[in-house]
Structure 1
Amino acid sequence: MRNPNAGENPENSDRALSQSFTWKKFMALLNRAKPNMTFLIIGFIISLLSTGISLVIPLFTKNLIDGFSLKSLNITFIIIIVAAFLLQALTSAISSYMMGYMGEQTVANLRQIVWHKLIDLRVPYYDDHQTGETTSRIINDTTVVKSLVADQLPSFISGILSMVGAFVVLFWMDWKMTLMILVAVPIMALLMVPIGKWMRRISIQLQRQTADFNSLTTETLSETRLVKASNGENIEIANGDQGIHNLFQTGVSEAKIMAIVGPIMLLAMMGILVTVIGYGGIRVENHTLSVGTLVAFLLYLFQVISPATQFSQFFTQLQKTKGATARLDDILEQPTEDLTAGADVDVDGQTLSVEDVSFSYQPDKPILKHISFEAHPNSVVAFAGPSGSGKSTLFSLLERFYEPTSGRIKIGDHELDDVSLNSWRGQIGYVAQDSALFAGTIRYNLTYGLTTQVSDDDLWHVLKLAFADQFVHDMPDGLDMQVGERGVKVSGGQRQRLAIARAFLRNPKILMLDEATASLDSESEEMVQRALNNLMANRTTLVIAHRLSTIVDANKIIFIENGEITGEGTHQELLASHDLYRQYVEEQFNK
């Protein structure tokens, strides 16, 4: 099974997450979700009222049994009993709804916080985490928190109120019998503490395996064409079966815990019930306790036992939530991009300067080494060199997906770090080798990210500039044609021309082309190149080129090998001075 935490021991990761949980973090997480305190307070008050009514009913029963006679069953007494039952049911329902609403709203707010965080996370986070694992956290882990806050917590609060009220009345009725019940409390606690720790470890393991399986299915299904083209069905079936088996084994471990917890709680409660009935029966026989008091005592005891049996579910869910909290907190502690920090700078007519920039993903493995160059306004600067030499990484630095390890990048007189990301990226047009499209319409993909309304005339205009208007016209739904997931319903050349049209619509001042024609056939390449020539006019353009024929007219060509600049100049200058560039030209032009 493909492991999203490749190179990392999952058990060590689980142990670290388990140890990272603190109640302070859990409460801070809930506080960030801003629970509706009005609903919580009103629900709590109504729950108190409901509990008070439920505590009165056994006293009515006691008086009815001890002083039973047909004369006592008058219509007023019956109305009072029925009204008490109805009012208790109504207040209980209202309280449960308000507490549940508060819980659902809290978790919805939490999901929004996590979602906003995920969108704002820096690119390096996604380099180290598979998409399926991340989506598992926002879906599965928040569902675990939801189950506690929205489902278990309201029952727990009402149960606590019921138990406390019942114990107060029980002490008032007969403190000796009540002490017999309280003896069981520390015994239950001693039994539940080690089970709770076991449950937390199992829960974290289950959540990790769920994330792993989610990653596997997401990746496999999104790359189904690669799977089928590579005859990889049997491999993926085996990977999926292994993931399902892991989930099964961990689920069985969880079932074992639940199988232990339930009987322990039931045995303890039944032991208390039998003891109370036995001891109370002796007291009734000795005339030191009335039958009505014993019945009322048993009714109050049920008000203790019923919530206590639910508490096992609450504490089990609480252990699961500890694991989910640790995983969510791990995301929320990650550094994010601040899109608005810095100045809004108009880059039109400004020179882009890269000064002695070095970069490495890992400290001991440099990717770029002391890169320096300038891109003057309205010029074309091309980058050539062997695959893996660092050209695309340089573009990622210019897009500010990463920060240089050393050196600096400037636009005009401004340090790039001092320019807001919104301002900088809003003035850049980027066309990649395999430009991405979202599942949706052509219109949606062209206007994606724009905050202003765009007319159909404007859309057709940029499509024409990108030589894409004809094939869009020929589609049954035109601009409302669905392109499918990642644009699978359009060809590679069409996808590239749509990406170029999207760049036209943004009217960028700096254009970045990352091997935009490398994966196309000759016919598509010619059409896309014509569209690119239109787009490059009167803009500062940076080009990564695999096919050198597309950059022979560049104002400057920079040749990069092993992360270092080994040659710089025009096409003719490099032909005369750079052996490897001349070799590349001869290989490509003499075919």
Structure 2
Amino acid sequence: MGILNIAFFIVLGDLIGGISQSTNIDSTRAIINDMALRTTYISIGAFFSSFLGKVLLGIATHSIALKTKRLYFASVIKQEIGYFDCTSSGKIIKSLSEDVARLSGVIEFDVMNIMIAVGQIVSGFILSMVTSYKIGLLGFTSIPIMVLLVITSSLFISFLSRGSTLQSTKSVSTVNEVVTSIRTVKSMAGEKKEVMRYNQEIRSTSTFDFVSALLYSTCCSLIVFFIWGSTSLAMHYAGVMLQVGSMSINDIIWIWGFVSITVQGLQNLLYYIPEVLRIQNIIPPIINVVYRKPLISHSGGVNPDSLTGHIQFKNVKFTYPSRPNVVVLNNFCIDMMPGQSTALVGQSGSGKSTVIGLLQKWYQSDAGRITIDGIDLETIDPACIHKHIGIVSQEPTLFARTISENITYVVDNINHNTRQELTRQGASEETIQNKMIVVSQQMIEDAARTANAHDFITLLPLGYETVLSQNVSLSGGQKQRIAIARAILQNPNILLLDEATSALDTKSESLVQDALEKLMVGRTTIIIAHRLSTIQKCDKIIVMKSGVVIEQGSHDDLVNKEDGHYRGLVAKQAAFTKRDDVTMTSERTDLFTYSEVDELSEVEISSEPGSACGTPEMRSYLMKDCKMSEPNVNSDPGTPDPANYLIHKTFKKKFDAQKNQLDHNKVEPVGEDQQDVKDPKVHSFLEIFKYFGCDVLFFPLMLLGSICTGAIPILTMFIFGRITNKIVPSRNRDGNLVPFPPGYSYSTAITEEVMYLVYLAICGCIATFAYYFFSELLCSRISYRINKAMFKSIVRQEIGYFDILKSGRLLSIFGKDVHHVKVGLSRHLSNITRNASQFLIGVIIAMITSWQMTLVMVSVSLVTTFTTVFVMQKFISYFQKKYSTQIDNGMIIASEILSSIRTVRSMSGEDREIERYAVSCRLAMKYACGFTTCASILFGVGMFCIWAATALVVYYGGILLAQGELKAAAMTQVTSNMVVAIFSMSLAMMELDALFKAIASSKELLKIIKRKPQLSLGNKTIEGGMRGEIEFNNVCFSYPTRPGAKILKKFSLKIDKGQHVALVGESGCGKSTITGLLERFYDTNRGNIKIDGVNIREINLDWLHRNIAIVTQEPVLFATSIKNNITYALSGETSMEQIQQAAKAANAHDFIMSLPNNYDTVIGERGVSLSGGQKQRIAIARAIIQNAAILLLDEATSALDTESEYLVQSALDTLMNGRTTIIIAHRMSTIRNCDTIVVIKNGRVEEMGNHEGLMDREGEYCKLVHKQIEN
């Protein structure tokens, strides 16, 4: 494409030169016809070069980008776990989204334009030297200066770009951390703090961008001045040579065309070099990861058919890669015999979970050996290890797939890996099928029944086919039961149980414990448990302290050991729990009974927008079917009544029959995000421009710079026309040449015009600075404005919003869509403006010179151009939407896997996850090929039509010239201006699809930015401070994602100031929902909640959260220092003494001081460098220092060892004094002294009172206590 303009100037030179020397009309017409035909050939060349150039480079671009994504993702998830301890997931996600999008954009737009510019420069330089090497050398004297300036500025830009990339990575990590921990952020009123932190990070990026823009714009403006200055010198010398007869008129026209096109190529080269320089800092890290060899390979090694489970640790020493100075295991030695159960006991942080991690080859020991069946662990294929080792962890991880797929996850991975290995070996399909593990639906359901999960699964909207995304809210106990079912189905030889039943209620724990004990028979089992009562039956108990074994033996042996450490733990726990160390219980049902449905008023049923129950059809079905049978009052409360079961099945059947029309309860597969029905609509580009592009100062200056920069080449062509007018004799009406007067000086005439080129060089210098500087500055400001507005909008949204919109989708928007908008509305828009101004100014000058020729050209080119643009937008919008969906799918997959990498590794799921990601990339490639091909065809057709119109103009202009109705200067001006205008139009068209991407992405961004939270912020605070009186009045609630499943049903409860209230009930009965409503994560469907007599909806949210402290079952910490984590909920400055006092009260001070940087130790994402107990103690210290009026404890001590629990419980008892406290716990020891114990069942208060009163009543609570005693 870059050579076409050069070819046309050759044609133009021959045309003008031929006509100036022609002696008759016939020869003139022959020349015109020949030139028009040659221009037609150029138009054909334009079609093929435009189409092939765009389609080949476009497909290559997307292929490179998607292959880079695949290779990067595949390499990342194969890295050892230690890699993730030291690498933030934000950095990985940024590389997969924003960095690859930048790389793709540079290849597709910048590289293509650079190739065109290089074509112009090379061909123009060669032809200039061939035509006249003297003038060519003069014209290019500025090239050495330009090279020197470019190299110097490139070094500085590269340095600044590294700083910008580092800050950008930090900001992406912040987004990822906040979005995935949004409940913790909101519960501690951390929104403003996070917004300030994020704004500071992106502001730092903007500083680097500003300096880079200033430097490069100065460099480019100087280059433009020197380029046009040397061009002026060359044209002056050309006039001298023409005067002495050393050059012909043809040569003058050619040399001008070659030099000007080369200069234009040099300018265009400058426009696209900066982004190429910037991405040189993002490519090496990606390549380094792709080629990085994991320290622990995920495949390869010895692959024994079976492992009996004889495990030995021999003098093992280990330190975590992120904390190399802290020895976690020191000369650690244990011997576990096949089929034996071994319990690991010790303080939090003593190394228990590290043992499990080493056994799964997450890490490599620093010294010593680990063997299984006498085989060195390092030599065994990790896939084989994970095949034979099953694990149920304290914080179970489930994936955004169906429940069936979650239960069969390990088995499916084993089958996938087996198929891959046998396929590599060339095995037949029959052999492969014989090696597969066949899993039936009955086997899945049996595993779920054994884990006591079948009943609640069948009550979910789609049963076992329910997708467990954010759209489905499961309690901790429900999630843990599915994880246990997964381990049961795997049927491993070695079983690892890390607090496997910690989140289960009494009934579930009893049943599941029996199931696990059956599963443990004949298997080597390692158990980590803080509750010593659950490990008494173990064959061996190993007591650990500071990474060494201090005692081991059976329970009886250790208990009878005088002054033994284990004996002391047992005695302490027995004294602490007194007589009731048990867990709570029963099973929940979501069935709608006759009385419950009868209570559903129209207001309740339709309270949620979009609820399936809210339609008249579903309401009538529900009410009609529920009235078909009366409830069985004599049935056992824990057993579903047959009539109720019939009601549930009938309702579900009716629901399923209309699920295509009433799809709000349907859980979408990965990638098909449910969009908020109240998302704002975006009507026009003006609205997008208003939000992102409108800058009162910089945007007009950028436009002015773009217009002036675009005007320079056209004005030079205008000057060239004037030069032509002074060197080519005109013709009269008769067609005869009118010679110049005697003594006419070509040199003087050309020099007069060349002075205008000098003036243009000065103007071009100023215009180029404005163009570059304000374009880059605006790009940075748009990026800052978008990111700031996006993040601020996201953190203020209600929790229900995050239940629907996946975190991976949000991260993809922050990466890909923000990048498209910022470059589209700055660089691409400025380039389009520059090229459009060239076209318009060229047309205006051409119209003034010869309106006939210009009208022909413009009428044809504009019609074809606008038709092309219209059709292009339709095709690109369709394919781009499909493409974006698949890219978002990939980001959702990547985000999920990165956040669950330990689970994926333990279950050998890397290869299958890589294949899932590759599928989304292949589908994205399919749609990328679609819109690239369509855009390329239309682009080629548009270029053909424009050049064909040029051929028509040449033919028509030649006729006017031959007839004397048009001067040669006018002919030159019109054709040369239109050539530059055509080329500018082609460049503008090339960038239009980037602008379309920006517009499409802008609409997605505006949906988020303009979205108003569904919860009002409230504006009241309670005079004199919060006292802590709480009242629930007839509260009805269902989650927005499951409006048909009522969690709370006319729930009422009054809590007095300073009262300690325990919530007791089955997993999923609504205990955590009550605390969520109290923190106002959601609004009630009906009824109200009051604090100190004020409706909670009227209280300011920030003030509310600052007065409620919470410690949850799964504490969330941030990737900052321990000091900052402890003070996270505070808004002001806190002294170090206060921080240490809180840590000491939470029994965290000692282990904090043992860390390398004490309280300044950065603990990694989600506190990855700490054990579960250590994290929970930090969370407790955070609650202690908050000093709130209301305290919420949701299994606050569940992850603590006996020693720590005793000390922390004492600290909590002190903290609870004088504070209203709501406690959720399965263990009776933590609630028996509460003022009031509330038993919740089916979303209602079943009974309430103190411990003694409820025991005397012999109701539901009494049954639970007796059940625990039996256990």
TM-score range for the pair, normalised by the shorter chain length? over 0.9
- Give the deviation of 1:373 after TM superposition: 1.1
- Give the deviation of 1:174 after TM superposition: 1.2
Q: Which moved more, 1:334-343 or 1:577-586?
A: 334-343
Runs of 4+ off more than 6 Å: 3-6, 9-17
- Give the deviation of 1:90 after TM superposition: 3.6
CA distance in 2, matches of 1:321, 1:74: 46
**Aligned AA (1:168):** I
Give matches, 1:346-357, under 5 Å: 346-357=1024-1035
Instruction: Give yes or no for the alignment of 1:434 onto 2:1114.
Output: yes
Q: Which moved more, 1:566-575 or 1:579-588?
A: 579-588
CA distance in 2, matches of 1:14, 1:271: 49
- 1:256 corresponds in structure 2 to 933
CA distance in 2, matches of 1:173, 1:424: 74
Q: TM-score, structure 2 length as denominator?
A: 0.44
Correspondent of 2:845 among 152, 165, 169: 169
Correspondent of 1:412 among 1092, 1100, 1109: 1092
- 2:1237 corresponds in structure 1 to 557
CA distance in 2, matches of 1:542, 1:203: 51
- 1:222 corresponds in structure 2 to 899
Correspondent of 2:1052 among 367, 372, 375: 372
Correspondent of 1:61 among 715, 720, 726: 720
- 2:1002 corresponds in structure 1 to 325
Over aligned residue pairs, what C-alpha RMSD do you find?
2.7
- Distance change in 2, residues 1:230/1:527 (3 Å): farther
Give matches, 1:299-338, under 5 Å: 299-336=976-1013
- 2:1020 corresponds in structure 1 to 342
CA distance in 2, matches of 1:181, 1:398: 71
Correspondent of 2:1250 among 559, 562, 570: 570
CA distance in 1, matches of 2:675, 2:1268: 55
Offset from partner CA, 1:332-383 (integer Å, 9 cap, x none): 3433255462334455434211111110123322110111111112221000
Offset from partner CA, 1:497-523 (integer Å, 9 cap, x none): 111111111111110011222344545
Give matches, 1:56-455, under 5 Å: 56-68=715-727, 69-73=745-749, 75-184=751-860, 185-336=862-1013, 339=1017, 341-361=1019-1039, 362-455=1042-1135
CA distance in 1, matches of 2:1123, 2:1114: 19
- 2:1167 corresponds in structure 1 to 487
- 2:37 corresponds in structure 1 to none
> Identity of aligned pairs, percent?
25
- Distance change in 2, residues 1:385/1:233 (3 Å): same
Question: 2:1037–2:1085: 8 Å Cα contact kept in structure 1?
Answer: yes
Offset from partner CA, 1:100-144 (integer Å, 9 cap, x none): 423432342122111100010110000111111012122221211
CA distance in 1, matches of 2:1091, 2:1233: 24
CA distance in 2, matches of 1:401, 1:15: 20
Offset from partner CA, 1:43-84 (integer Å, 9 cap, x none): 444455455554432232122122224342565543332332
Q: Which runs of 5+ in 1 are unaligned?
A: none
Q: TM-score, structure 1 length as denominator?
A: 0.92
Offset from partner CA, 1:441-494 (integer Å, 9 cap, x none): 111211224221112111111111111111111112100112121112111111
- Distance change in 2, residues 1:545/1:349 (3 Å): same
**Aligned AA (1:217):** A
CA distance in 2, matches of 1:178, 1:502: 75
- 2:690 corresponds in structure 1 to 31
- Distance change in 2, residues 1:189/1:523 (3 Å): same
CA distance in 1, matches of 2:1155, 2:1003: 49
Q: Which moved more, 1:540-549 or 1:35-44?
A: 35-44
- 1:532 corresponds in structure 2 to 1212
Offset from partner CA, 1:152-173 (integer Å, 9 cap, x none): 1112223333222221221121
CA distance in 2, matches of 1:549, 1:290: 104
- 1:41 corresponds in structure 2 to 700
Offset from partner CA, 1:261-293 (integer Å, 9 cap, x none): 332232123222333233333433443333322
SS at match of 1:36: coil
CA distance in 2, matches of 1:209, 1:138: 16
- Give the deviation of 1:385 after TM superposition: 0.5
- Give the deviation of 1:409 after TM superposition: 0.9
CA distance in 2, matches of 1:325, 1:515: 44
Q: Which moved more, 1:41-50 or 1:411-420?
A: 41-50
Question: 1:559–1:581: 8 Å Cα contact kept in structure 2?
Answer: yes
CA distance in 2, matches of 1:590, 1:266: 85
CA distance in 1, matches of 2:816, 2:1052: 47
- Give the deviation of 1:425 after TM superposition: 0.9
- Give the deviation of 1:234 after TM superposition: 3.0
Q: Which moved more, 1:197-206 or 1:336-345?
A: 336-345
- 1:509 corresponds in structure 2 to 1189
Question: 2:722–2:753: 8 Å Cα contact kept in structure 1?
Answer: no
SS at match of 1:369: strand
CA distance in 1, matches of 2:1093, 2:1219: 19
**Aligned AA (2:1008):** I
Question: 2:1035–2:1052: 8 Å Cα contact kept in structure 1?
Answer: yes
- Give the deviation of 1:403 after TM superposition: 0.5
CA distance in 2, matches of 1:335, 1:578: 50
- Give the deviation of 1:88 after TM superposition: 2.6
CA distance in 1, matches of 2:667, 2:941: 41
Offset from partner CA, 1:306-353 (integer Å, 9 cap, x none): 221123234312332332123222223433255462334455434211
- 2:379 corresponds in structure 1 to none
- Distance change in 2, residues 1:12/1:208 (3 Å): closer
Give matches, 1:570-589, under 5 Å: 570-589=1250-1269
- Distance change in 2, residues 1:335/1:546 (3 Å): farther
Larger Rg: 1 or 2?
2
The count of aligned residue pairs is 589
- Distance change in 2, residues 1:578/1:233 (3 Å): farther
- Distance change in 2, residues 1:533/1:8 (3 Å): same
- Distance change in 2, residues 1:35/1:326 (3 Å): closer
- Distance change in 2, residues 1:30/1:531 (3 Å): farther
**Aligned AA (1:353):** E
Question: 1:166–1:300: 8 Å Cα contact kept in structure 2?
Answer: yes
- Give the deviation of 1:211 after TM superposition: 2.0
SS at match of 1:566: strand
- 2:667 corresponds in structure 1 to 7
